[in-house]
Amino acid sequence: MNRFLIGFIIGVALFHLLDHLPGLRWLSVVLTFPLLWRFKPLHPLVAMAAGAGWSLLNASLILHHQLPLKLERSDLVLEGVVDSLPITQGLLSRFQMQVTSLQDENGESVELSRIQLSWFGATEDLSIGDAWRFKVRLIRPRGAQNPSGFDHEQWLFIQQIQAKGYVRDWAGNSQLESDRLPALLGLLRQRIAKAIDNVSDKPEAAALLKALAVGDKRGMDGQAWQTFTRTGTNHLIAISGLHIGLVAGWCLFTGGWLWRRSARLCQRLPALKAGALFALLGAAVYAALAGFTLPTQRALIMLVATLGALILGYRIQFGRSLLLALFLVVLVDPLAILSRGFWLSFSAVAVILWSIGGRLAPWRDWRQGIQVQLSVSLGLLPLLILFFSQISLISPLVNLLMVPWFSLVLVPMTLIGLPLLVVPAVADPWFSLLLTLSDVTLQLLEWCSLQPFAMTDLAQQDLLLLWFVLAGCLILLLPAGMPGRGLGLLLCLPILFASAERPARGEIWFTLLDVGQGLACVVETSNHLLLYDTGPGHGDRTAAESVIMPFLRSRGHRKIDTLIVSNGDRDHAGGVESLTQSIPTRQLLAGDPEMIDGLAEACLAGSEWRWDGVYFQILHPAANVAYKERNNRSCVLKIESDDWSILLPGDIEQAAEDALLRVNPQQLRSDLVVAPHHGSNSSSTAEFVTAVDPQWVLFSTGYKNSYGFPKPEVVERWQAQGARLLNTADSGAIEFRLVAGEVEPKPRLYRELNQRFWRQGDGDSGNYLRSE
Burial 462-482 (b: 16+ CB within 10 A, else e): eeebbebbbebbebbbeeeee
Tens digits of per-residue pLDDT, 263-322?
999 999 999 999 999 999 999 999 998 888 877 887 888 788 888 888 888 776 777 878
3-class secondary-structure state, position 736: strand
pLDDT of residue 597: 67
- Whether residue 253 has pLDDT greater than 50: yes
Q: Angle CA(548)–CA(550)–CA(552) in degrees, nearest 5?
A: 65
Decide if 641 contacts 740 (C-beta within 8 A): yes
Least confident of 12-16, 177-181, 227-231, 576-580: 177-181
pLDDT of residue 366: 62
Higher model confidence: residue 565 or residue 467?
565
d(CA 377, CA 368): 14
pLDDT of residue 665: 93
User: Maximum distance among all alpha carbons in the chain?
Assistant: 100
Span 515-539, mean pLDDT? Answer: 94
pLDDT of residue 723: 96
Tens digits of per-residue pLDDT, 40-56?
778 888 899 999 999 99
Bridge partners, residue 133, by sequence: 79, 174
pLDDT of residue 687: 96
- Whether residue 760 has pLDDT greater than 70: no
3-class secondary-structure state, position 12: helix
- Whether residue 743 has pLDDT greater than 60: yes
Tens digits of per-residue pLDDT, 366-405?
666 677 778 888 888 888 888 887 888 898 889 889 988 9
Tens digits of per-residue pLDDT, 672-705?
999 999 999 999 999 999 999 999 999 999 999 9
- pLDDT confidence band for 763 (50 / 70 / 90): very low
pLDDT of residue 44: 83
Residue 713 is which amino acid?
Answer: E
Q: Residue 604, Cα to own-chain centre: how many angstroms?
A: 38
Span 133-139, mean pLDDT? Answer: 96
d(CA 526, CA 505): 6
pLDDT of residue 761: 55
Q: Angle CA(215)–CA(537)–CA(87) in degrees, nearest 5?
A: 25
d(CA 113, CA 79): 11
d(CA 26, CA 15): 12
d(CA 418, CA 438): 16
d(CA 13, CA 377): 25
* Phi then psi dihedrals of residue 335, to 5 deg: -70, -15
- pLDDT confidence band for 768 (50 / 70 / 90): very low
d(CA 669, CA 723): 13
Decide if 534 contacts 520 (C-beta within 8 A): yes
Q: What is the mean pLDDT of the chain?
A: 88
pLDDT of residue 539: 67
Least confident of 388-392, 438-442, 665-669: 388-392
Tens digits of per-residue pLDDT, 583-609?
999 999 999 888 876 678 999 999 999
* Residues, the chain: 772
Span 339-362, mean pLDDT? Answer: 75
Span 496-517, mean pLDDT? Answer: 91
pLDDT of residue 23: 84
Residue 398 is which amino acid?
Answer: V
Span 663-668, mean pLDDT? Answer: 93
- pLDDT confidence band for 101 (50 / 70 / 90): very high
Q: Angle CA(545)–CA(547)–CA(548) in degrees, nearest 5?
A: 80
| Residue 141: other Cβ atoms inside 10 A | 26
Higher model confidence: residue 646 or residue 215?
646
* Verdict on whether the full-model pTM lies above 0.85: yes
- Whether residue 637 has pLDDT greater than 90: yes
Residue 34 is which amino acid?
Answer: P
Rg of the chain over all Cα atoms, to the nearest angstrom = 29
Decide if 74 contacts 135 (C-beta within 8 A): no
- Whether residue 623 has pLDDT greater than 90: no
pLDDT of residue 497: 77
Tens digits of per-residue pLDDT, 441-491?
999 999 999 998 888 877 766 778 888 888 988 888 887 777 777 888 888
- Whether residue 561 has pLDDT greater than 90: yes
pLDDT of residue 316: 66
Torsion (CA) 449, 450, 451, 455 in degrees, nearest 10: 50
Q: What proportion of the chain, given as a percentage, has pLDDT over 70?
A: 95
Residue 455 is which amino acid?
Answer: M
